[in-house]
């Protein structure tokens, strides 16, 4: 059991896992919009891994003082060589697969990449220190929602720019935004104490844990309504695709309802982030 926990820790805290759900919902877009840009999924996996590793390693390598006692941060401190090795592999993989992107994809990717990198890296002054753009009031959940939804909906189909303006694609983007917003709120609940130290205003800190959960439930309900309208208009989403989206909403509501302030890192990483895998699996099963 101890060995299994150690393996899971390597899988989760090295960020090897977190890049998988993001990549799979990009693959979900490819399935739904009948494209074949599979090399982009590999690029997204390695670039997501690179960004997450950068955010974890930056405080450890470049800040004079990093006293974080969060389990995921302590693990990186104790496994510095492995974490740097993963970061290196992610950098090489990102570079290799970016060569398969077209110029339009790269142009769309640049602003998303900059937002992702400077999400926690210091870019503007707040008080007597420099902070990342996540420190702007209420900014981080909207930044995550827009960037993740944009790169997983528009970038996989950017071989044909006209598809970006297609109503079918726009509906998928709106559905994705609502889904990502809903499953990101729990991570603000997880980070409440950490955000309090940084005087960062988030939905849970403003409306409380149950209020934040209720907003998450409302977003998932709205996602189901948007998916229903998408199907009703007969512009791309099939009946079974609609059922898959609704099914993922119901499972996500159950998972978020079971969430507690003392829930473990494993619950957040494997269950809450795993809701992206659940939605992909349901969609993959019916398309």
The domain limits of the chain are: 7-286
pTM, rounded to two decimals? 0.92
The pLDDT value given to residue 127 = 63
Quote the percentage of the chain above a pLDDT of 70.
Answer: 90
Question: DSSP secondary-structure letter at 64?
Answer: S
Mean of per-residue pLDDT scores for the chain: 89
**Phi/psi of residue 35, nearest 5 degrees:** -115, 180
pLDDT at residue 260 in the model: 86
Residue 260, sorted as left (phi over 0), alpha (psi -120 to 50) or beta, turns out to be beta
Q: Position of tokens 């709120």?
A: 185
Q: Which residue has the higher pLDDT, 38 or 126?
A: 38
What integer is the mean pLDDT of 16-34?
A: 95
Q: What is the pLDDT of residue 36?
A: 83
Positive or negative: CA dihedral 42, 61, 198, 126? negative
Can you give the pLDDT at residue 130? 64
- Geometric angle at alpha carbon 161, from 166 and 91, rounded to 5°: 120
Domain 7-286 indexed as CATH 1.10.600: yes
Q: Mind listing the pLDDT tens digit for each residue in 165-217?
A: 899 999 999 999 999 999 999 999 988 887 777 678 889 989 999 999 999 99
Averaged pLDDT for residues 245-265: 94
As a whole number, mean pLDDT of residues 240-261 equals 96
With pLDDT > 90 as the criterion, what percentage of the chain qualifies? 61
Distance CA 259, CA 214 (A): 12
| Whether pLDDT at 123 is above 70 | no
Tell me what the mean pLDDT of segment 60-73 comes to. 62
Q: Kindly tell me if the per-residue pLDDT of 247 is higher than 70.
A: yes
Residue 154 has pLDDT above 70, yes or no: yes
What pLDDT, on the 0 to 100 scale, is given for residue 124?
64
Q: Which of 30-34, 102-106, 158-162 comes out lowest in average pLDDT? A: 158-162
Averaged pLDDT, 115-126? 72
Residue 32's pLDDT is what? 93
């Amino acid at each position: 059991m101890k060995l299994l926990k150690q393996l899971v820790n390597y899988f989760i805290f090295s960020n090897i896992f977190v890049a998988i759900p993001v990549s799979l919902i990009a693959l979900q877009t490819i399935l739904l919009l009948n494209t074949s840009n599979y090399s982009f999924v590999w690029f997204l996996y390695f670039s997501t891994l690179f960004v997450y590793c950068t955010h974890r390693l930056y405080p450890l390598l470049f800040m004079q003082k990093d006293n974080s006692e969060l389990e995921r941060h302590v693990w990186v401190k104790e496994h510095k060589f492995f974490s740097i090795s993963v970061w290196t592999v992610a950098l090489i993989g990102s570079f290799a697969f970016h060569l398969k992107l077209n110029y339009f994809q790269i142009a769309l990717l640049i602003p998303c990449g900059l937002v992702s990198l400077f999400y926690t890296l210091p870019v503007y002054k707040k008080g007597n220190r420099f902070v990342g753009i996540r420190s702007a009031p209420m900014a981080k959940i909207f930044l995550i929602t827009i960037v993740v939804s944009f790169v997983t909906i528009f970038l996989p189909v950017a071989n044909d720019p006209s598809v970006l303006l297609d109503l079918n694609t726009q509906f998928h983007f709106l559905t994705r935004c609502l889904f990502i917003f809903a499953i990101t709120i729990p991570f603000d609940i997880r980070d409440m104490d950490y955000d309090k130290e940084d005087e960062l205003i988030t939905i849970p800190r403003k409306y409380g844990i149950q209020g934040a959960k209720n907003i998450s439930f409302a977003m998932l309900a709205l996602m189901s309504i948007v998916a229903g309208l998408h199907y009703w208009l007969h512009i791309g989403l099939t009946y079974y695709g609609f059922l898959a989206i609704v099914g993922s909403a119901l499972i996500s509501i159950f998972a978020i309802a079971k969430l507690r302030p003392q829930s473990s890192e494993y619950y957040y990483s494997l269950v809450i982030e795993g809701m992206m895998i659940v939605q992909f699996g349901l969609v993959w099963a019916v398309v």
